[in-house]
Structure 1
């Protein structure tokens, strides 16, 4: 009887650390004043949180 192997868990994406979202600083005005952060979809893993 062959030994069954457990499938490996997928590795987390290094860019978003597995969350699927990344934060970007939002700047406005001529002097590029920082007003906050906005979250968006991670383009490395397309929001799945798994490394390819």
Structure 2
């Protein structure tokens, strides 16, 4: 009988940019694209390092 190969899980760790939450906060900019000024308001955004999973595969 042939042996089946099982897929190994890659070891993962918490994302350093979002600290494992999957979201980051960014400041809101108003005005023109180049000369836009930052306001005191903040908004949440998806973490682009881990794409919202909160985990980064270890290579």
TM-superposition CA deviations, 1:2-39 (whole Å, max 9, x none)? xxxxxxx7310011000000100002136615140110
Match of residue 48 from structure 2: 43
RMSD across aligned positions (CA): 2.4
TM-score (norm 1): 0.69
Aligned-partner SS, 2:45: strand
Any stretches of 5+ residues in structure 1 without a counterpart? 1-8
- Greater strand content: 2
Instruction: Tell me which moved more, 9-18 or 36-45.
Output: 9-18
Which aligned runs of 4 or more in structure 1 are off by greater than 4 angstroms? Answer: none
Q: 1:17 to 1:33 in 2, by over 3 A?
A: closer
Contact 2:27 2:38 in 1 (8 A): no
Larger radius of gyration: 2
Q: Calculate the TM-score normalised by the size of structure 2.
A: 0.62
Equivalenced residues, count: 45
